[in-house]
Amino acid sequence: MAIVKMGERVWDAARAHLGAHPERFGFFLADTALASDGPIFIAQDFVPIADTDVHHGAGGYEIDLDVLLRVVNRGVREGRGLVEAHSHGGALPRFSRTVDRPGLAEFVPYVLDSLPRQPYAATVWGADAVYGEWFLAGGDTGVLRSILITGPQLLQVVSRDDDHEPIPTRFDRQLPWFSDDGQRALGRLRVGVVGNGGTGSHAITQCTYLGMRDFVTVEFDPADDTNLNRLVTAAAADEGTPKGVLARRTIKAIAPDARVELIARPLQSGEALDALKSVDLIIGCVDNDGARLILNELALAYGIPYFDVASGIEPAGGGRLESIGGRVAVVLPDGPCLHCMGEIDTAEARFYNATPDQQAVARARGYAPVKAPAVVSLNGLISSALVNELAIWVSGLRPLSVFTELELIDPVRKPGQWLTPRSGVVAVPDCIECTYRGLRDGASLERYVGVRS
Ligand SMILES: [Zn+2]
Ligand SMILES: [Zn+2]
């Protein structure tokens, strides 16, 4: 299984050329990476093939050889892989047996040879959906699981055999918000939920009710007695059971057909980092900035949209409280990162991403990480705000708000609960974390593996 993704500019260019025109051709130039379940293609540019460079030959349509060479050479020069695209129009686009399959059998080995170490993918475009397959030099091949556009609306355009199945009636009451297309997209997004505790248990439950059906969950800790005041996936008898198991049980109870890949390992493990590389989006429900730092770098490196939630209660001294609130922050492939937003405490991140020995040294020097107080209603509200923002993005109702603050007791403003978008959140020039953008495996996230046992 594999993913092809792109931003709005590349999507618009491809759409303009291929959209309403059957039998047109083009190529994406893509940054690529390999996850254990298949390649990742992050399209950076679209090269349309002019109609005058395509001829109808004996075996169907053929592209001029010198035009093909030019595209392949650009891939070599830029160190990028190729994703071919041609359009059939209509519904349920698939490769034709008589023309496309023989064409692929000839062309795929040629490209894999010409662009060594690069995976290749081929796509066929219908009126509203795109089907594709990927190929590796060793002979591995498969169907593209996801074709994702991270523009003003999150579009999942992958075509599957059930494209035209009716939406189950259980979603009737939410279709006025999502429409059939949005509902179908929700069901096809693979979402990585990191942290299945106080906020994650809410987010997972709501995402499942909304219709999401493909989860990668990362959670290492068992539910202990002090979690049972807020873990909505747990009952009293569940003390000691891993939170990830409780999350999977909840998902399966609501939606037995859902796919759940439970990674019962720390985020700082090869298994977790590999499984998250190829998800469509990440929901971060973690309780420390060490995990946030890693998710921020992962999201930037592999161009993964990342929704992060935080809640907290700030004491003001003397038994008084200064703030009860939280925030939802969204890191998009071309937007500000969590560090740009001032949402990563570097000292805390360093502590949580240190080895036990290093942590002992930090403690001896007086560094004391505090466990933030946590309340179910606060977690529920801020997690709901995250899921709402995600649902708004999928349904395209309005532009995404990349930062939303929640405050329950702010004494400066009028008494009341405030859920407020923050404006003017932009990428900070020279942000050290933003240098991970687009690096893919060059981000070397494996340096975090094993730091937390
Ligand atoms: Zn075709
Ligand atoms: Zn940044």
Instruction: List pLDDT tens digits, range 226-267.
Output: 999 999 999 999 999 999 999 999 999 999 999 999 999 999
C-alpha torsion sign, points 254, 256, 260, 265 = positive
Q: Which ligand is nearest to the CA of 339?
A: 2
Other CB atoms within 10 A of residue 158 CB: 23
Between the CA of 18 and the centroid of ligand 1 the distance, in Å, is 12
Q: Where are the alpha helices (DSSP H) in 303-412?
A: 346-352, 356-364, 376-395
Ligand 1 midpoint to CA 119 (Å):
21
At 140-161, the pLDDT tens digits run 999 999 999 999 999 999 999 9
Tell me, rounded to whole angstroms, the distance of Cα 270 from its chain centroid: 18
Q: Residues with beta carbon < 5 A to ion ligand 1?
A: 96, 100
The three-state secondary structure class of 300 is helix
Quick one: pLDDT at residue 411? Answer: 67
**Ligand closest to the CA atom of residue 428:** 2
The distance between the two most distant Cα atoms of the chain, rounded to a whole number of Å, is 86
47 alpha carbon to ligand 2 midpoint, in Å?
Answer: 30
How much distance in Å is there from the Cα of 388 to the middle of ligand 2?
24
pLDDT tens, 343-375? 999 999 999 999 989 999 999 999 988 777 899
How many angstroms is it from 379 CA to the middle of ligand 2?
26
Amino acid at 224: D
CA distance 194 to 444: 20
* pLDDT per residue as tens digits for the range 427-447: 999 999 999 999 999 999 999
Q: How far is CA 305 from CA 294, 335, 401, 408, 409, in A?
A: 14, 10, 13, 28, 31
Beta strands in 136-270 (DSSP E): 141-150, 154-156, 190-194, 214-218, 259-263
Residue type at 428?
V
Higher-confidence residue of 322 and 261: namely: 261
Which of the listed ranges 303-312, 318-327, 406-415 does the model predict with the highest average pLDDT?
Answer: 303-312
Ligand 1 centre to CA of 83 (Å) is: 14
Q: Cα–Cα distance between 48 and 334 in angstroms, integer?
A: 24
- Residue 237: count other Cβ atoms within 10 Å of its Cβ: 7
DSSP bridge pairs for 61: 56
The ligand that comes nearest to the alpha carbon of residue 60 is 1
CA 398–ligand 2 middle distance (angstroms):
24
Ligand 2 centroid from CA 337, angstroms: 4
Of 390, 388, 416, 420, nearest to 403 by C-alpha is 420
Q: Which ligand is nearest to the CA of 93?
A: 1
Q: Which of the ligands is closest to the CA of residue 54?
A: 1
For the cut 80, the answer to whether the pLDDT of residue 60 exceeds it is no
Among the listed residues 316, 259, 310, the one whose alpha carbon sits nearest the alpha carbon of residue 283: 310
CA distance 356 to 451: 8
For 338, the token pair is 């969590």
Phi, psi dihedrals of residue 247, rounded to the nearest 5°: -65, -45
**Residue whose token pair is 């509203």:** 128
The Å distance, Cα 99 to ligand 1 centre, comes to 7
Q: Could you tell me the distance, in angstroms and rounded to a whole number, from the CA of residue 75 to the centre of ligand 1?
A: 23
Phi, psi (deg, nearest 5) at residue 225: -55, -40
Compute the distance from residue 61 Cα to the ligand 1 centre, in Å.
Answer: 8
439/425 Cα distance (integer angstroms):
23
- Please tell me the distance between residue 39's alpha carbon and the centre of ligand 1 in angstroms: 23
Distance separating alpha carbons of residues 47 and 13, to the nearest angstrom: 9
Instruction: Specify the pTM.
Output: 0.97
**Ligand with smallest separation from the Cα of 123:** 1
Ligand 1 center to 51 CA (angstroms): 15
In sequence order, what are the beta bridge partners of 306? 282, 331
Distance 120 CA to ligand 2 centre (A): 31
In 318-444, where do the E strands start and end? 320-331, 403-407, 418-421
DSSP summary character for residue 2: E
pLDDT mean over 384-392: 98
